[in-house]
Structure 1
Amino acid sequence: RDPGAVREASFAAAPDASAPARPSRERVRMNQRVFDRVWSEVRGQYYDPGLHGVDWNAARRTYRPEALAAPDDRALYRVLGDMLALLDDDHAGASAPAVARRLDTVREPRPAIGVTLRRDPGQPGVYVVERVREDSPAQAAGVAAGWRLDTTAPGAWFPELDVVEGQVVTLVLADPDGARRTLTVTPRIMPPRPAFTADLSRSGVAVLRIDAFDLGLGDWMGRQLASLPSDTDIVLDLRGNPGGRLLEADALLSCFLPRDLAWATRTPRSGRAIVLKTAGGCGDLDAPAPNDVAVLVDANSRSAAELTPAALQEAGRAVVVGEQTAGAVLISQDTALPDGGRLSLSRSDFVTAGGVRLEKRGVTPDLTTPLADEAADQDLALELAISALARAAEGQARVAQAPSL
């Protein structure tokens, strides 16, 4: 899983400025338990025993005093984040209890403003708005994708706080031109976004949107494919997808690739390479679907949303369209922390069946989306994918009609 990379944000009120600067005795004890658990997990469970050359004992001496002195979750998890950043691994991250609670309820009705955020690694406390949900308080307030959220401004919201329905929050943002805007937004209960959706509005094309590799993806995909004619072109939309369950990635691949086909190799801390082969988990589908396939990706496609298009691309089973993906493809696992927070840590290295290590590299599309005119209401990547599939079908028809000699 990749829980720390992209998430739908739910916001609460800014903290009380009168909060004590020094931690209580109970706070210090909990800080110690959380820090020691994170440090020990990395030392004993990280996929690279050499920790990428990081002196982990020195890291403990540097960051443990800072962690123990943290007066609140925000300060504690900032220290943990700084220490984990030494690994230079997008899958190594610690989520504060409030963030973990939002992750646990992502598929439930909950208070939200409808914004998807991504941390800006170059500016601590600053987030990029990746997506604004339709009919949300954020959209009503005029927030747009590409804006930057500053959580360091006095009185501004920051992620380590729980949401309170109906309680006004202050968001400090900057638009792409750098103009600073301070908005007040009132969170409200919003229904969950479905993890998988099908758009059958185009003749001969099914656009299957996958927001995350959640439980049930393989079964859902099998039902969709079983209901479609074999000449229907399939577009898998993985843009903005942060990844998820490895078993569901295998199930999706099994919808299009033959059973027992090697598609990747994972190498855990032990160093023993494990070949991943399609297990045939595409619901009730008896055989891989014959439909032509295109996969949409962008710079925010991560983890399972990278290894999946890479496997289909290497097998010659799909055309990949869009942007270079994030290059965050190590196989991770979550660990619960004593205060209710969560540690995400890479447990295995990963290479494709062709021997390509996608970490820090990403998937290179077969077709790159041209720069869009922001004023134009067009999905250029989708249009390009549909055109590519149409051209492929025309080529197949010409081959089929050619006379044999």
Structure 2
Amino acid sequence: MAAPTDGDMVSIRQRAAIAARLRSTIEQSFAHWEAVSELDFDAAFERYLDEALAAPTRLAFVLAGQRLMAQLRNGHSGFHDDWVMQRHGRSFGLMLRPLAGRWAVTISRHAELPVGTVVERIDDMPMAELFTRRRPFLAASSDRAAADILFYRRHLLPDALTLGLEGGGTFALAKADWPALETPLPSIEHRGRVAVLPIRNFDDPRFEAAAVAAVRTLDGEAPLIIDLRGNGGGNTPLGLLAALMDRPYRRWRSTVLSTTTLRRAHGERPEVVAYEAPRHEPLPGAHRGPLVLLVDGTVGSAAEDFAMPFKDNGRAVLVGETTAGSSGQPHYVDLDGGYRAWVGAKREAFPDGATFEGVGIRPDLPVERLAADLRAGRDPVLASALDVMSSP
């Protein structure tokens, strides 16, 4: 994809137009104000406006918008620019996330830097300090979720850096145009009598279709483990959900804001409209075998939409880490010139009304995969799930 032709330049007129539309979109559509009740949005927007109008580069302008959106503390709100992502967002060929408080390499395309390597510093800055400095630009519903997305926001990091490794070694990295890793379609793997079905995303409808097809190849009573770890969402897989539910189930209780031009003219606040968790009946032929879901802190959005009903009605045992804690329908706005924004327009809660945003879905059996497990090729989460399946 060619970079937008306006490169690093942002006119004052364009900045003002984007700022006006951002404010209007947030005020009319944002449904998560209860999570930021202490935020003085007028003051925050004034600070943003000063920063955005004075920004010396396109990157600085984008960072001003991302700082504003991050103050909403919502994983389904954000600000994006194609040019900045193309120029400053190239890959390092690895991924880091905190595991039990230690930042570990979870994906690596460098033979000399295996998964499980613990990173203590970047360019002589401790990882905790680096995260604290970048946190104001990370739109997430919790600090835990923000840490998990830090290395997906590579424009917040220099083009070249040096990792300080546990034990005293170093590793130099530079951003490059790594070819995208292909995500395989879901297919059944067998661990003895237990079927295991990894599903890495729901972005493409083919993933849900392949998962449903895989489930239908199984005997209806077969024990099944669905591995959702690393699945950040996409489109809620309602067909897969129905194919696995052998009992009634509920989806989220949700709230949205509703207003009219007349209400705004009278200075009235938007009305909160609540939707109770609907009850769904199981379909004939749904899979009836024992079910376990593997989850971690990167499971979010549509993957949480999928997992929650199994937690609510006890259809499956959830094993692993607490999920990301961010879902709901964002309202997208095209701001022209490669810019776009999205605002969380629906706030979801568990069917009993318990808070979900920023909290996540807690597993029935908490198990962490540590850096040492990655280095050794161990998977205690899957092992625990297999133990659950073997229990009487």
Is TM more than 0.5 here? yes
Specify the SS of the correspondent of 1:272: strand
Q: 1:219 is matched by which residue type in structure 2? A: A
1:279 CA drift (Å): 7.2
2:221 to 226, 231, 256: 231
1:173 CA drift (Å): 2.6
Structure holding more helix per residue: 2
- Does structure 1 conserve the Cα–Cα contact (< 8 Å) formed by 2:92 and 2:174? no
Structure 2 Cα separation of the partners of residues 326 and 152 of structure 1: 29
Specify the SS of the correspondent of 2:344: strand
**RMSD between superposed Cα atoms in Å:** 3.7
1:308 to 303, 306, 309: 306
Residue 274, structure 1, aligned to residue 269, structure 2: no
- Cα distance change, pair 272–190 in 1 and its aligned pair in 2 (3 A): closer
Structure 2 Cα separation of the partners of residues 186 and 86 of structure 1: 31
Structure 2 Cα separation of the partners of residues 192 and 92 of structure 1: 27
- Cα distance change, pair 62–359 in 1 and its aligned pair in 2 (3 A): same
- Cα distance change, pair 151–86 in 1 and its aligned pair in 2 (3 A): farther
Structure 2 Cα separation of the partners of residues 237 and 315 of structure 1: 19
Percent pairwise identity: 25
- Does structure 2 conserve the Cα–Cα contact (< 8 Å) formed by 1:43 and 1:56? no
Specify the SS of the correspondent of 2:311: helix
1:287 is matched with 285
Structure 1 Cα separation of the partners of residues 153 and 58 of structure 2: 11
Specify the SS of the correspondent of 1:329: coil
- Cα distance change, pair 72–327 in 1 and its aligned pair in 2 (3 A): same
1:330 CA drift (Å): 4.1
1:241 is matched with 231
2:106 is matched with 131
Provide the TM-score with structure 2 as the length reference: 0.72
Q: 1:115 is matched by which residue type in structure 2? A: L
2:23 is matched with 39
Structure 2 Cα separation of the partners of residues 185 and 143 of structure 1: 18
- Cα distance change, pair 188–89 in 1 and its aligned pair in 2 (3 A): closer
2:343 is matched with 345
1:331 CA drift (Å): 3.8
Specify the SS of the correspondent of 2:212: helix
2:262 is matched with none
1:124 is matched with none
Structure 1 Cα separation of the partners of residues 168 and 333 of structure 2: 38
Q: Spell out the pairing of 1:4-403 with structure 2 (5 A cutoff).
A: 26-48=10-32, 52-98=37-83, 114-116=93-95, 131-133=106-108, 136=109, 139-140=110-111, 142=113, 144=115, 147=119, 159-160=154-155, 170-176=160-166, 180-184=170-174, 186-194=176-184, 196-216=185-205, 217-246=207-236, 248=237, 250-257=238-245, 261-270=249-258, 271-275=272-276, 277=278, 287-369=285-367, 372=370, 373-374=372-373, 375-391=375-391, 395=392
- Cα distance change, pair 202–45 in 1 and its aligned pair in 2 (3 A): same
- Does structure 1 conserve the Cα–Cα contact (< 8 Å) formed by 2:96 and 2:107? no
- Cα distance change, pair 260–389 in 1 and its aligned pair in 2 (3 A): closer
Across the two proteins, how many residue pairs are aligned to each other?
336
Structure 1 Cα separation of the partners of residues 194 and 55 of structure 2: 54
Structure 2 Cα separation of the partners of residues 189 and 32 of structure 1: 37
Structure 2 Cα separation of the partners of residues 94 and 279 of structure 1: 36
1:365 CA drift (Å): 1.1
1:53 CA drift (Å): 4.8
- Cα distance change, pair 308–148 in 1 and its aligned pair in 2 (3 A): farther
Structure 1 Cα separation of the partners of residues 219 and 229 of structure 2: 25
- Does structure 2 conserve the Cα–Cα contact (< 8 Å) formed by 1:98 and 1:159? no
Structure 1 Cα separation of the partners of residues 24 and 172 of structure 2: 41
Structure 2 Cα separation of the partners of residues 252 and 357 of structure 1: 25
Provide the TM-score with structure 1 as the length reference: 0.70
1:402 is matched with none
1:295 CA drift (Å): 0.7
- Cα distance change, pair 265–185 in 1 and its aligned pair in 2 (3 A): closer
- Structure 1: stretches of 5+ with no match in the other structure: 1-11, 13-19, 103-110, 120-127, 162-168, 396-405
- Does structure 1 conserve the Cα–Cα contact (< 8 Å) formed by 2:52 and 2:65? yes
1:193 CA drift (Å): 2.0
Structure 1 Cα separation of the partners of residues 29 and 217 of structure 2: 44
- Cα distance change, pair 117–68 in 1 and its aligned pair in 2 (3 A): farther
1:54 CA drift (Å): 2.9
Structure 2 Cα separation of the partners of residues 275 and 206 of structure 1: 35
Structure 2 Cα separation of the partners of residues 100 and 279 of structure 1: 41
Specify the SS of the correspondent of 2:314: coil
1:339 CA drift (Å): 2.8
- Deviation per CA, 1:71-119: give whole Å up to 9, x if none: 33321222112212222223222123147779xxxxxxxx855434669
- Does structure 1 conserve the Cα–Cα contact (< 8 Å) formed by 2:251 and 2:279? yes
Structure 2 Cα separation of the partners of residues 190 and 378 of structure 1: 26
- Cα distance change, pair 99–261 in 1 and its aligned pair in 2 (3 A): farther
1:158 CA drift (Å): 7.7
- Structure 2: stretches of 5+ with no match in the other structure: 126-151, 259-271
- Does structure 2 conserve the Cα–Cα contact (< 8 Å) formed by 1:32 and 1:68? yes
- Does structure 2 conserve the Cα–Cα contact (< 8 Å) formed by 1:260 and 1:277? no
- Deviation per CA, 1:157-197: give whole Å up to 9, x if none: 98349xxxxxxx63433335675532246534345323x42
1:328 CA drift (Å): 2.4
- Cα distance change, pair 69–148 in 1 and its aligned pair in 2 (3 A): farther
